[in-house]
Chain A
Amino acid sequence: MSDTAVAPHRALGLTDAEYELIVEKLGREPNAVELSMFSLMWSEHCAYKHSKKLLGQLPIEGPYLLMGPGENAGAVDVGDGLAIAFKVESHNHPSAVEPFQGAATGVGGILRDVFAVGARPIAVLDSLRFGELDSARSRYLLEHAVGGIGHYGNSIGVPTIGGELYFEGPYEQNCLVNAMALGIARHDRLTRSAATGPGNVLVLFGALTGRDGIGGASVLASAELGDGDADKRPTVQIGDPFAEKKLMECSLELLDRELLVSLQDLGAAGLTSSSSEMASKGGLGLDIHVDRVPLREPGMEPFEIMVSESQERMLCVVEPARVDEVLAVCAKWETTATAIGEVTDSGRLRVLSGGEVVGDMPVEALVDDCPLYDLKPEKPSAPIYPAPRRILDGDDPRDALLALLGSWNVADRRPVFEQYDCLVQSRTVRRPDDADAAVLLLPAPTDAGERPAIAVSIDGSGRRVACDPYRGTVEAVLECAANLACVGAEPLGLTNCLNFGNPEKPHIAWQLFESVRGMADACRALDVPVVGGNVSLYNEGPEGPIYPTPVVGMVGRLPDAARAGRLGFAVAGDAIAFAGPFQPSLPGSELAKLRGEPLPDGLSELDVAAVRRAQEVVREAVRRGELRSAHDVVEGGLAVALAECCLGGGHGATVDFRGAGADGERLLETLFGEGAGGFVLSGPRPALAALAREIRLTFVGEVGGDALSLTLDGGATLSWPLAELRSARERGLADAIG
């Protein structure tokens, strides 16, 4: 069988060697039901077979950690007996094939992960990457992916409070849609997914099971995109946020009433993955009667029922005496619920139909025995990515700032984030654009009247990682932490989504290897554990791989929301300072991109300890209420950061750049160079002066007026009226997407 060209296991994405191993584990050839289940459980998407060994480097212990990797979502302690559960996940390939439903179901899936652990979802963030916006395909993908995220998040009553959005050529065919969700629960309500208690009943509840999404994990998520992707549309699931809203309220009520032994959502690989994971974690077996599963269409085969990725379904384990109560709660929420199986002590996953066994596999073989592969990393000898297209000529810094503010990667994100409800649930203290991180109130004020809050940010720059997978990834982690520092939050935990190309290729393996090493080092340097995450590989099209894109989502806590930082200059007359160990450099920057420069081989060295120190000092100053604004320096360097501070607060500024040269490359580097560890701060001069004793800090100017004016060497000045800056920044995206 294994030597024929059209062997079924190959069509399902399994290698001959993997097939032989399955035969060995079963002691016989698998039947069609078993083969389809193995092909999903042993896919890259479910088994992490090319990344698992690497991920072991990541630190997963920390003082605030409550639940680490392995559960549906990780969780950290935010005080007062409360936990925040969170996770980021990709839905890249479905979104590249059908952006509206792909993105919508990405949000639906990550929300289920969060309420599966017993937490009420309180926020969504999204991290999006598309090709350049002058391509009709990119505009189509952007419009529909954003529409899908809004449709799902808005309809279900969970605010979308932040995100990030970049446009780069290598994402043209293979866009990235990563969604992160956060939920809140009391510590004792955090729920695990392990099936326990032989004799307990397995109840499936939520939407009916149909033929949608069959083979999503193996066919879509674990192979490169190519011609004929339109044919893969049937493997994209269709989302129904109203069904999920009822499912969410139903699940939370079931947990409130303490009716469940364990709970698990159905995501990739549907019933196959959810049931075998539950059985594996409990060290037990399960019998599943597929003929009891409520179907959307008649005549579905047992294998189709086991692998369907129909959305908005959950699986729970219930003590027999509680089943009637569970069904009653589901009926109240108009959610179909059916007992479909039992927990056994057999250690086997058995699939039954009409009383007949149609599949019988050791749980361990399905979940744990997939072979793990070593990467064969090799640094490429020649550049992988073409130089970006040149769109800015000359070296006039005045033009450069306007071009940067209007560029798709820097321009105002309002046309996108206004399509999301960022307010529902009444927790949002800092909306998108108010500050570098979103800030959400926690429920209970302290005795002292303070309002504790959490802050969250999601970051990752693929182009910087493409220049230097190690340092680019370190920068992403540092930037996320810097965003939290700017609102006064201390990082508690991190979730990541590793979006890469085909890891079987040595140069992609090298990107992945170096990136994970960078993430591990950065997390250790900041003492922030990884609470869970997701890996998305094979993000390649016929024209090559995407930029390597590790996306980092970080959650922090601040003691008093009333003092949460803002990014905009607030009071005329305040002093402006640059703070932190920032070393601006042009290669790999946004300006270099606009000038069409090739990606450099490597980024400048970073002093991570000094960056951490600067973040701590900024965070403490924000918490003391001494700063009126804090903003970290990222895309477009100091000049763009200053412009954003001006526009954010509606105040101009006069800033001294003497010493940077009146023209030429050195001035451009000072104004627009990028790197980690820089902050633009404003506030009363004495408060800032006190910080200068702790970190590198330079007074550079004063808030006021209605223009951003820079003083250069030789008495020259550069000046932009705020209206001109605003117009450039507002039009960038709005003009492109209408």
Chain B
Amino acid sequence: MRFGVLRFPGTCDEVDAQLACERVGEAVILWHGDRDLQGVDAVVVPGGFSYGDYLRVGAIARFAPIMESVIAFAREGGPVLGICNGFQVLCEAGLLPGALLPNKTLRFVCRQVDLVVERADTVFTNACAEGERLSIPAKHTTGCWYAPPALHEQVEANGQVLLRYAPGESFNGSLADVAGVRNEAGNVFGLMPHPEHAVDPLTGSTDGLKLFQSIANSVAAHV
């Protein structure tokens, strides 16, 4: 099982994501200017501030050469996980529904939050139990998930919301406390909290590891 972790200029959490992936498989860093995904089984678009995020968050990274290959990989059903800035990039790329708006406080917040697993029968949550609470840190300025009412209704009806902030835990004002959504096909998933920062008991919690383990499980099941 081999993960590819993207690195744009301004990406900050790629090494953390690589270390998390390496707890359940192998992982390589993929450079934004390349097009070769090096035959990886899953792609992680990590957190940070790609290209400085001086325009709308994720809006430039979406046009990076490597993203052409990631979009093709996703269309073929390859698993793609977007974390924080990666979630924003995947929304900009049209791979995930909705958009991320500035937090309701307009401030950056770094906080350990509790998430509730909505579904456990997916590529990204099969190592969790439905209804399970995960303690994972979130840290961002632009993490308020939004979708127009019709789209939101459709996302909920399709069961695309995999993680929600537990009651009272959301600091960003996300619609319906959505913390993470997948695409309709089920192979692309994005979330604002950082599971890669919850993989070692010494640094807080190991709950985030379950998401990486889930991806490894589903890749193994398909091989």
Contacts and interface: CB of A to CB of B under 8 A. Distances in A.
B56 to A, nearest CB: 15
30 contacts: A147-B107, A150-B108, A154-B139, A155-B10, A157-B48, A241-B49, A242-B54, A243-B52, A245-B12, A245-B49, A246-B10, A333-B9, A334-B9, A418-B109, A420-B108, A421-B110, A423-B139, A423-B194, A423-B197, A423-B203, A423-B204, A424-B13, A424-B16, A424-B197, A425-B16, A426-B203, A429-B202, A431-B204, A441-B203, A562-B202
A157 B9 CA distance: 12
B4 interface: no
A428 interface: yes
Tell me whether chain B's interface is mostly helix, strand or loop, or mixed: mixed
B15 A425 contact: yes
B110 A420 contact: yes
A527 interface: no
Nearest to B48: A157
Given A156-B12, A334-B9, A423 B52 contact: no
Nearest to B31: A332
Of B9, B194, B196, B204, most buried by chain A (CB within 10 Å of CB) is B9
B121 interface: no
Interface string B132-143: 000001010000
Interface in B104-118: 107-111
B153 interface: no
Contacts of A150: 108
Interface string B189-203: 000001011011011
Interface of B: 9-13, 15-16, 19, 48-49, 51-54, 107-111, 137, 139, 194, 196-197, 199-200, 202-204
A109 B203 CA distance: 28
A595 interface: no
Nearest to B197: A423
Contact of B52 (A147, A241, A561): A241
A240 interface: yes
A685 interface: no
Nearest to A334: B9
Listed residue (B12, B48, B111) with the most chain A CB atoms within 10 angstroms of its CB: B12
Given A150-B108, A423-B110, A562-B202, 19 more contacts: A154-B108, A157-B11, A157-B12, A157-B48, A241-B49, A245-B52, A418-B109, A418-B110, A418-B111, A420-B110, A421-B108, A422-B110, A423-B197, A426-B15, A426-B16, A426-B19, A426-B199, A428-B204, A441-B203
A419 B16 CA distance: 20
Per CB-CB distance, the 10 closest pairs between chain A and chain B, nearest first, are: A242-B52, A157-B12, A155-B49, A426-B16, A423-B197, A421-B139, A421-B110, A242-B10, A419-B108, A150-B108
Interface in A419-444: 419-429, 431, 441
A613 interface: no
Interface string A219-242: 000000000000000000000111
A441 B202 contact: yes
Which of A147, A242, A334, A426 gathers the greatest number of chain B CB atoms within 10 Å? A426
A245 B9 contact: yes
Nearest to B19: A426
Given A154-B108, A423-B139, A428 B12 contact: no
A246 B197 contact: no
Interface string A441-462: 1000000000100000000000
A246 B139 CA distance: 22
Contacts of A431: 204
Interface of A: 147, 150-151, 154-157, 240-243, 245-246, 333-334, 418-429, 431, 441, 451, 561-562
Contacts of A242: 9-10, 49, 51-54
B209 to A, nearest CB: 12
Given A426-B19, A429-B202, A246 B13 contact: no
Nearest to A560: B202
A442 to B, nearest CB: 12
A245 B10 CA distance: 6
Among B10, B16, B48, B200, chain A packs the most CB atoms within 10 A around the CB of B10
A713 B36 CA distance: 77
A696 B5 CA distance: 54
Nearest to A414: B111
Nearest to B11: A157
Most buried by A among B49, B52, B108, B111: B108
Contacts of A245: 9-10, 12, 49, 52
Contacts of A422: 110
Contacts of B197: 423-424, 426
Contact of A419 (B10, B11, B109): B109
A246 B48 CA distance: 13
A151 B141 CA distance: 10
A610 to B, nearest CB: 34
Contacts of B204: 423, 428, 431
Contacts of A418: 109-111
Contacts of A243: 52
A419 B110 contact: yes
Nearest to A155: B49
Contacts of A429: 202-203
Nearest to B47: A424
Contacts of B202: 429, 441, 451, 561-562
Contact of B200 (A155, A419, A420, A426): A426
A424 B49 contact: no
A150 to B, nearest CB: 5
B120 to A, nearest CB: 26
A367 B53 CA distance: 40
A423 B107 contact: no
A157 B13 contact: yes
A683 to B, nearest CB: 21
A246 B50 CA distance: 11
Contacts of A419: 107-110
A446 to B, nearest CB: 14
Nearest to B14: A157
A246 B9 contact: yes
A423 B137 contact: yes
A423 B194 CA distance: 10
Contacts of A428: 203-204
Contacts of B108: 150-151, 154, 419-421
A241 B10 CA distance: 9
Most buried by A among B16, B107, B203: B203
B18 to A, nearest CB: 10
Contacts of B52: 155, 240-243, 245
A155 B15 CA distance: 15
B109 to A, nearest CB: 5
A546 B15 CA distance: 43
